[in-house]
Structure 1
Amino acid sequence: MARATHNPYETDLDQNAANTTPLTPLSFLRRTAAVFPNRTAVIHGPVRRTWAETYERCVRLASALAKRGIGVGDTVAVMAPNTPEAFEAHFGPAMIGAVLNALNIRLDAEALAFILGHGEARVLITDREFSSVMAKAVAMLDPARRPFVIDIDDPQAKGGELIGAMTYEQFLETGDPAFAWRMPPDEWEAIALNYTSGTTGNPKGVVYHHRGAYLNAMGNIATWAMPHHPVYLWTLPMFHCNGWCFPWTVTAMAGTNVCLRAITAKAVYDGIADHGVTHLCGAPIVMGLICNAPEDQRRELKPGLKMMTAGAAPPAAVIEKMERMGVEVAHVYGLTEVYGPVTICAWHEEWNELPLEERAAIKARQGVNYATLEGLMVADPVTLQPVPRDGETMGEIFMRGNTVMKGYLKNPRATQEAFAGGWFHTGDLGVWHPDGYIQIKDRSKDIIISGGENISTIEVEGVLYKHPAVLEAAVVARPDEKWGETPCAFVTLKEGSTVTEAEIIAWCRANLAHFKCPRTVVFAPLPKTSTGKIQKFVLREQAKAL
């Protein structure tokens, strides 16, 4: 008897409003404010606000924006450090279908003007500390397309003036705390716009949707095994991949946001000690700030402090220092295009028996996918054939899943190229270890080809960081008539340390194959982005000029 093609599980069992709701991080705020209304949501200097108060402010923001005619598909730009206003902006605009564009506070007026114009910002909420650069940026726009400007008049801001039509607090007063805000009818609706820090040409606008924001926020919780009510220190900029989705993560867990306007060693130690911080995130530069802080700026760190690091491949030597201080380091990896971190060096208990140096070397790997990222592989960049899992064969890192961006705003060609073959092309080069863990060896643009041999700048930097006198190091290609390119090291020394170029080169030759060793060493401070990434394109230009 032929089997019936009828599937009973697809009959009269349709999706409906009772069994299907679009995923959105807005649901986190609604729940937390209802369940834990009196718990502290935000700490900012002397300011303390509960979740009930924070929820009301977000609703007022949504209402005030709606009264200005802002709605679905409109962009609300925010230029602010890690303040309560920046946090609230992760919810208020989304409550009316608008899109948050958190601006990089280190950008110049020209770059900001491009972003405001390209993103079609209708409202600009700007902290007074950045009034000078924002006034210039707005003035560069067509007068007919300039956004409505609102000032954040933070008492902790240093200098600046008010350039907007009203202050943020005045704007909130125009909002209705009983405003009936909307949940997105479709989880594919945009929630945020983030611009990549492109080194050539104009930056690309990366568009996030509610589903991805929800899932990556939950991925952070599962990956880090975050408990209820974490106390989270904002050492990571909220404008960087929406703070790796942690505004939504902390909200889901009814935690406390400890805001920091400026990231200094003293501010970090004080924040941790004064508020009982349990979790923080940041690039390796933040770890360096903590473990190399002067004694007079340090406070006691209680065991169990957890730090998530990404943004650049962390040297094993830095991880080792942090763990000697009792800080539990989680190494993650991601990009703007995937909502921040989406891989983790997931830890195995048996690795705890290894010497600290070996543990740190393992932890320096980028690891395996979050449970919320469907696919991760290292493959040939042209054929997309996976490379052998031998820890040696180099390939490009590819990703796919629900936490990959919608695409690049108004740039279909770049979107198609990024998604060619049904995978997101990261542009990062790495290897696949036998246990399935990936490890970045370089950005494709950072690899050095010397005499036909590929040299990983990350490998050379790892050796440099182990030198006792080295605080920071970066390696780039320097043009060479004979070899094509040779490694050039830029090094910042620890305070009070002295070492010569010859000694640094000798150190590398004792720890690396000789062809990988720097031929040139430059002692100088390293240029960095606002998120702590070393600006290698600046160093490459300097190396060319040597």
Structure 2
Amino acid sequence: MKNFVVHQLLHHAVITYPEQEIISGNTRLTFKTFYDRVVKLANSLSKRGVKKGTVLGVLEVNTHRFLELHYASSMLGAVLHTINFRLAPEQMVYSMKHAGDEWVFVSELFAPAIKPILSQFPNWVYMGEDKNEELSDGSHHFFLYESLIEEGEKKEPDFAKETNEKDIFSIFYTTGTTGKPKGIRYTHHAILHGAIQLFHHLAMHKYGARVSSRDVYMPLIPFFHIHAWGMAFFPLYIGAKLVLPGAADPAHQLELIKREKVSWMNMVPTQLQMLLNQEGFENIKVLTGGSPFASGIAQQAHRAGIQFSLIYGGSDQLATAISVVPENVDPSSPEAMEWRRVGMRPLPLVEISIKDKEGKEVPHDGKTLGSVWVRSPWLPEGYYKEPEITKEHFIDGWFRTGDLGFFYENHSLYVADREGDAIKSGGEWIPTGMLEAVISEYPAVEQVAVIPEKNEQWGQRPLAVIKATEKVTGQQLSDFLLTKVKEGKLAKFWIPDNYLFVDEIPLTSAGKLNKKALRKQYGN
């Protein structure tokens, strides 16, 4: 019986769609050519001692070389560590040592930054086009990526037949915004089931970021984040064209979209906002998530003809739910757009429970907040080498996410906030994500983050930190929010007491608003 492992997807792709393309910068590869490169790379690494269980760290943006390493490591039975290059330097090195990286593959983009740590890891592979011999200082083994491929035989290593779906395929780390990064390991079985189920869900529903084999895919989510939300696997699974943007900025991303006829993308809301600011970004299907999806951005996307869906999940649970337009709603109506922005249905085989402090299920009434718990067939066993933290979050087969949310009456999920971000004012919760969504509807607001501000009378009150496109006052925003109170979109006591206007709002390594940094700077 065949094993359900990552490189089996590549076998299927080569047999069924050998001439389909992978585009990466100026490189164009057919699936057949891509397979040949993967096999030679795996063969070459096998001769140099890489085997089952060897941890391969990769410090690279979304390119064909990074994608090749997904499939080569699978053939070797190795563990792929997708290094989060947006972590602080000390956190990044911590994750590399914690994962046990024995080989580190680094692109020319990051080569200058790794010179101080070369002696801390035994084997380095340079993935750039030039030779860059200055990275070889004698303290470690040094290899050139393209030379490894040239020296390899077109023969899969023996390990390829031995890789089992229960073997660990990859390890990656949380963003570290709530402490040191936490490692999560996924088996072949878990990572493939989670990724493929995500896209099956998108194929089942007619509206939003629906997928098909005729789409041209371009992931802006980096491979270090859950393998670009499964995009390292899905296009090969269905035989679709894949475009990898590398380090392209929004202007160059738009050039790629037009040149390669890209029709489907994934990205966080901040990336979507930057692309919407580019003239000509329109009529694309977009899967977005990672942070609350503000109404202002959603409306701008709708005007540009962007068909979007919202995804909920994370490194420690994979995909959990995706927004869906209810069957009784006109798909062209403003109500349908709002459902795509807020109302998410669990993926098939995923269970979600909303619990109060006593652990009891809260009613599905569209207003009762509770703690979001998740379980699924692809849930990991816990955090790598972190038994105490694991006990706090992985309980009896469930994952306690640390998010607050509620169920609508039609059983769609709304994730309102992180438990640590919600504001407790006078004993009542103010979900900052919902408040941010309403504030973002004001035309001059480009970005908004709501954080708690200490208050003697109420304990905490909301402070709105705003990046605006033009001059606006706090009074104007309060007057606007009062109209939303009358419309029933928020409670009057949610309206911030204070507004702070800034040039930039800091982001986390995942592209989310960095509320931890804002609380540290402005919370007092």
Q: Is the TM value for this pair above 0.5? A: yes
**Per-residue displacement from partner, 1:303-337 (whole Å, max 9, x unpaired)?**
4x211011111012322221221111011110101
Q: Which residue of 2 aligns with 1:501?
A: 474
Give the structure 2 partner of residue 4 of structure 1.
Answer: none
Aligned counterpart, 2:506: 527
The reply on whether 1:453 has 2:428 as its aligned counterpart is yes
**Helix, strand or coil: the match of 1:427?**
strand
Contact 2:38 2:71 in 1 (8 A): yes
Q: Find out whether 1:107 has 2:87 as its counterpart.
A: yes
Matched with 1:486 is 461
Output the CA distance in 2 between the equivalents of 1:104 and 1:306: 26
- Give the CA deviation at 1:39: 1.6
Q: Give 1:473 deviation, angstroms.
A: 0.8
2:153 corresponds in structure 1 to 176
- Which residue type is aligned with residue 177 of structure 1? K
Pairing 1:364–2:344 present: no
Give the Å deviation of 1:471: 0.7
Deviation at 1:437, TM superposition (A): 0.7
How far does residue 517 in structure 1 lie from its aligned partner after superposition?
A: 1.3
Q: What is aligned with 1:289?
A: 274
Match of 1:414 in 2: 389
Percent same amino acid at aligned positions?
Answer: 27
Shift in Å, 1:78: 0.3
Among 76, 93, 110, the alignment partner of 1:96 is: 76
Q: CA deviation at 1:264?
A: 2.8
| Residues 1:34 and 2:10 aligned together | no
1:13 maps to: none
SS in 2 for 1:454: strand
Matched, 1:380 2:356: yes
Deviations 1:163-213 (A, max 9, x none): 571221112223222123514553221111010012243211011111112
Query: Counterpart of 2:378?
Result: 403
Q: Residue deviations 1:131-165, cap 9 Å, x none? A: 232223445x3xxxx2301111147xxx9974571
Counterpart of 2:57?
A: 77
The verdict on how the C-alpha distance between 1:366 and 1:414 changes in structure 2, with shifts beyond 3 A counting, is: farther
Once the 2 structures are TM-superposed, how far is the Cα of residue 415 of structure 1 from its aligned partner? 2.3
Q: 2:193 is matched with which residue?
A: 215
Which position in structure 2 is the counterpart of 1:470? 445
- Secondary structure in structure 2 of the residue aligned to 1:364: helix
- Are 2:449 and 2:466, in contact at CA under 8 Å, matched by a contact in 1? yes
Following the alignment from structure 2 to structure 1, what is the Cα–Cα distance between the partners of residues 306 and 161?
A: 39
Supply the distance in 2 between the matched residues of 1:381 and 1:235 (Cα, whole angstroms): 37
Paired with 2:423 and 2:129, the residues of 1 have a C-alpha distance of: 46
TM-score with structure 2 setting the length: 0.91
Instruction: State the alpha-carbon separation in 2 of the partners of residues 529 and 160 from structure 1.
Output: 33
Q: Distance in 1 between matches of 2:168 and 2:80?
A: 9
Please give the alpha-carbon distance, in whole angstroms, between the structure 2 residues aligned to 1:70 and 1:289: 41
Q: Distance in 1 between matches of 2:25 and 2:253?
A: 13
The corresponding residue for 2:415 is 440
Q: Which amino acid aligns with 1:235?
A: L
Cα shift at 1:424: 1.0
Are the counterparts in 2 of residues 312 and 533 from structure 1 also a CA contact under 8 Å?
Answer: yes
Task: State which of 176, 199, 221 in structure 2 corresponds to 1:236.
Answer: 221
Shift in alpha-carbon separation, 1:463–1:39, aligned structure 2, 3 A: same
User: Within 1, Cα distance between the matches of 2:501 and 2:248?
Assistant: 24
Structure 1 residues 354-381: Cα deviation after superposition (integer angstroms, max 9, x where no partner): 632x32322222512112x331221235
Q: Which residue of 2 aligns with 1:335?
A: 314
* SS in structure 2 at match of 1:243: helix
Partners of 1:378 and 1:438 within 8 A in 2: no
The CA deviation at 1:478 is 1.4
Question: Partners of 1:270 and 1:183 in 2: how far apart?
Answer: 41
State the partner residue of 2:206: none
| Equivalent in the alignment of 1:245 | 230
Residue matched to 1:260? 245
Cα shift at 1:115: 1.0
Residues 237-280 of structure 1: per-residue CA shift (max 9 Å, x gap): 11111111111111101122211123533122212111011210
Report if aligned partners of 1:448, 1:454 keep a CA contact under 8 Å in 2: yes
1:11 maps to none
Q: CA deviation at 1:447?
A: 0.6
1: CA distance between counterparts of 2:439 and 2:281?
29
- Residue 380 of structure 2: SS of its match in structure 1? coil
Deviation of the 1:507 alpha carbon: 2.4
Structure 2 residue identity aligned to 1:267: H
Aligned AA (2:153): D
Tell me whether 1:47 sits opposite 2:32 in the alignment.
Answer: no
Alignment counterpart, residue 406 of structure 2, candidates 415, 431, 434: 431
CA deviations on 1:108-132 (whole Å, 9 max, x unpaired) are 3211211111111010000122123
Q: Specify the code of the residue in structure 2 equivalent to 1:273.
A: K
- Contact 1:332/1:366, CA 8 A, preserved across alignment: no
C-alpha contact 1:80 1:127 (8 A) present in aligned 2 = yes
CA RMSD of aligned residues (A): 2.2
User: Cα distance, 1:292 vs. partner?
Assistant: 2.6
Q: Distance in 2 between matches of 1:462 and 1:374?
A: 27
**How many angstroms does 1:382 deviate by?**
4.7
Equivalent pair of 1:123/1:147 in contact (CA under 8 Å): yes
CA contact (8 A) 1:102 1:238 kept: yes
Worse overlay, 453-462 or 184-193: 184-193
Contact 2:85 / 2:92 at 8 angstroms: preserved in 1? Answer: no
Show the counterpart of 2:4: 23
Q: Per the alignment, in what secondary structure is the counterpart of residue 301 of structure 2?
A: helix
Asked whether the 8 Å contact 1:317–1:360 carries over to 2, the reply is no
Aligned partner letter, 1:505 = S
C-alpha separation in 2, matches of 1:510 and 1:461 = 15
SS in 1 for 2:233: helix
- Residues 160 and 192 of structure 1: is their aligned pair in 2 closer, same or farther, counting only changes over 3 Å? same
How big is each residue's C-alpha offset from its partner over 1:23-50, in whole Å with a ceiling of 9 and x where there is no partner?
223211111012221221x212221011
User: Does residue 117 in structure 1 map to residue 87 in structure 2?
Assistant: no
| Matched residue type, 2:353 | M
List gaps (5 residues or longer) in structure 1.
1-16
Measured in 2, the distance between the counterparts of 1:342 and 1:207 equals 17
State the alpha-carbon separation in 1 of the partners of residues 408 and 457 from structure 2.
34
> Does the CA contact (< 8 Å) of 1:130 and 1:160 recur in 2?
no
Distance change >3 Å, CA 160–CA 315, structure 1 → 2: farther
Q: Is the 8 A contact 1:108 1:133 kept in 2?
A: no
CA distance in 2, matches of 1:23, 1:457: 42
2:280 to 299, 308, 317: 299
What is the number of equivalent residue pairs in this alignment? 506
After superposition, the Cα gap between the structure-2 partners of 1:397 and 1:120, relative to the gap in structure 1 and judged at 3 Å, is same
Structure 1 residue 61: deviation in Å?
2.1
Residue 317 in structure 1 maps to residue 290 in structure 2: no
Q: Which amino acid aligns with 2:333?
A: P
- Structure 1 residues 353, 283: CA separation in 2 closer, same or farther (over 3 Å shift)? closer
Residue identity in the other structure for 2:91: A
- Aligned partners of 2:216 and 2:242 also within 8 Å: yes
Q: Kindly indicate whether the alpha-carbon contact (under 8 Å) linking 1:79 and 1:126 is maintained by their aligned counterparts in 2.
A: yes
Structure-1 residue corresponding to 2:495: 517
Q: 1:182 is paired with a residue of what secondary structure? A: helix
